[in-house]
Amino acid sequence: MASFSTNQFRPGLKIMVEGDPCNIIDNEFVKPGKGQAFNRVKYRNLRTGRVNEKNIRSGDVFEGADVVDTDMQYLYKDGSGWHFMDPASYEQYMVSEAAMGDAQKWVKEQDICSVTLYNGQAISVTAPNFVSLKVTETDPGLRGDTSGGGSKAATLETGAVVRVPLFINVGDLLKVDTRSAEYVSRAKE
């Protein structure tokens, strides 16, 4: 795997930090007038999902992380974890609860997700940006109120809870933005 110096750091570059693959979010060059230069690097640990910031001496070299994002189909869940399949190779991957993270709130069987593989192991899953899910529980809808003037909580078939307009009813299919966990619109079957 290639190595990268701090002056090659760009958002999106994947590097190894303390043994974990990480995705660079931001890289700021800081240098006191006549002194040693540093890079203040903000990155997401792809194994834990946590965002951290480190001051690194400019010019220090980091190993690149052998990380690949692959579109995979979610098959089913059982006692051992979530199971995905790479539609190109038909190879199946098991994903742990920790690696599923927030994605478990949104995915339904057959959905195509982006699975991050590190050294051939699935370490994180990103749900599709938009999903269509049925409402299983919410207060009765207010007929005729389509103005969007208020909101209430609705539980979806995956167990996720989102704020929805007052006119939404149990059984409605909703389009949800998984990045912000926000209701977008009603969806067609």
Quote the least distance from Cβ 83 to other proteins, whole Å: 36
Nearest 5°: phi and psi at 105? -75, -20
Q: Is 52 in the site for other proteins (CB under 8 A)?
A: yes
What x-and-dash track marks residues 89-128 binding other proteins by CB under 8 A? ----------------------------------------
What x-and-dash track marks residues 14-33 binding other proteins by CB under 8 A? ----x--------xxxxxxx
The CA distance from 37 to 27, in Å, is 13
**Closest Cα partner for 54 from 67, 64, 40, 65?**
40
Nearer to other proteins, 8 or 114 (CB): 8
**Contact yes or no for 88/38 (Cβ under 8 A):** no
Q: Is 40 in the site for other proteins (CB under 8 A)?
A: yes
The label of the residue with tokens 């909580």 reads 153
Q: Is 9 in the site for other proteins (CB under 8 A)?
A: yes
Quote the least distance from Cβ 24 to other proteins, whole Å: 9
Nearer to other proteins, 32 or 149 (CB): 32
Q: Is 68 in the site for other proteins (CB under 8 A)?
A: no
Looking at the chain, list the stretches that DSSP marks H as alpha helix, in order from N- to C-terminal side.
97-100
The CA distance from 57 to 75, in Å, is 45
Number of residues that bind other proteins (CB under 8 A): 28
Instruction: List all residues 6 or more positions away from 93 whose beta carbon is below 8 Å from its beta carbon.
Output: 72, 83, 84, 85, 86, 115, 117, 121, 122
Q: Is 36 in the site for other proteins (CB under 8 A)?
A: yes
DSSP 64: B
Nearer to other proteins, 65 or 174 (CB): 65
Per CB under 8 A, the list member of 1, 3, 50, 57 interacting with other proteins is 57
For 78, the 3-state DSSP assignment is: strand
Per CB under 8 A, the list member of 1, 3, 11, 92 interacting with other proteins is 11
**Contact yes or no for 95/125 (Cβ under 8 A):** yes
Per CB under 8 A, the list member of 49, 50, 55, 153 interacting with other proteins is 55
